[in-house]
Amino acid sequence: MEYPTQMNRITERFRQLKANQGKGFIAYIGAGDPDLDATKRLAIAFDKIGVDVLELGVPFSDPLADGLVNQLAAQRGLQSGTTPPKVLETVAEIRESSEIPIVLYVYYNLLYRWGVGRFVREAAESGVDGLLILDLPPEEAEEYETTMREHGLALIFLIAPTTPDERIRTIAPHSTGFIYYVSREGVTGMQTTISDTIQTMTSKIRHHTTLPIAVGFGISTPDQAELVAQHADAVVVGSAIVNEIARSGKSQDLVPHVAEFVESLVRPLKG
């Protein structure tokens, strides 16, 4: 089936990075942590300091793929009254002043309750560029995939250290935007060392796709980001950023403090 060609900010950003022989930086934060106004201000600040893609975690009551830091962020998001419709409203507000590519990191139950078609359509209308559903395998994603392609949104799937070649071969054709390589088994969280599987696994994945490969889970320092970027097209940092948000709470210097921390992670990747 032919789908309409639509400009996707994620695809375009990676095209620019490749043309400039650059590496991408993807920042994850929990939407609504500590509130949605802070989410909006952080997004705009991140755009200005060179973040290439913003991942927004949509708060969910049972975030099984997340470690404690991100679980607590989801809890704070729920406590601040953040809902999927309010997340989309916030994305639309971000779009008034920023074209930073935005991915929603979301659990399938939220789409199912809303209605997959409606969620995808309204996400696209609000200015979302892609979805990463933590608990939806490609084999069960036919309706979702069709709707996503119709609306020009990137379908981002996860590959783990334990994913065999045959499985990578299955996942890769369903993916658009980029492939997310989860460099560690288990849940999200900061680590003192980077995984030793990154070089081997990114090479394996490249046998099955020409899409950019983003590597995340456990990266928390500028040195780690620089090391991972030797083998990845983009580096994903989440828990370390979320931890800085938690430390700042609702203080007035939340945004400048977190932006300064994120800029220290971005800097090694931008030469």
pLDDT tens, residue order, the chain (271 aa): 344 445 799 999 999 999 999 999 999 999 999 999 999 999 999 999 999 999 999 999 887 767 788 889 989 999 999 999 999 999 999 999 999 999 999 999 999 999 999 999 999 999 999 999 999 999 999 999 999 999 999 999 999 999 999 999 999 999 999 999 998 644 444 444 566 789 999 999 999 999 999 999 889 899 999 999 999 999 999 999 999 999 998 899 999 999 999 999 999 998 6
CB 21 within 8 A of CB 142: no
How many CB atoms within 10 Å of residue 155?
A: 19
Would you call 66 a catalytic residue per the annotation?
Answer: yes
Report which of 181, 241, 258 is spatially closest to residue 56, judged by C-alpha positions.
Answer: 241
Supply the pLDDT for residue 15: 96
Strands (DSSP E) found in the chain: 24-30, 53-57, 102-106, 130-133, 154-156, 158-159, 179-182, 213-216, 234-237
Supply the pLDDT for residue 270: 86
Supply the pLDDT for residue 184: 60
Integer Cα distance of 203 and 199 in angstroms:
6
Query: Crossing angle for the helix pair 116-126 and 142-150, nearest 10 degrees?
Result: 30
Catalytic pick from 33, 35, 55, 129? 55
Q: Which domains does the chain have, with CATH numbers?
A: 9-269 (3.20.20.70)
How many CB atoms within 10 Å of residue 61?
A: 10
Catalytic pick from 35, 66, 93, 233? 66
Would you call 55 a catalytic residue per the annotation?
Answer: yes
Integer Cα distance of 227 and 175 in angstroms:
25
Supply the pLDDT for residue 195: 67
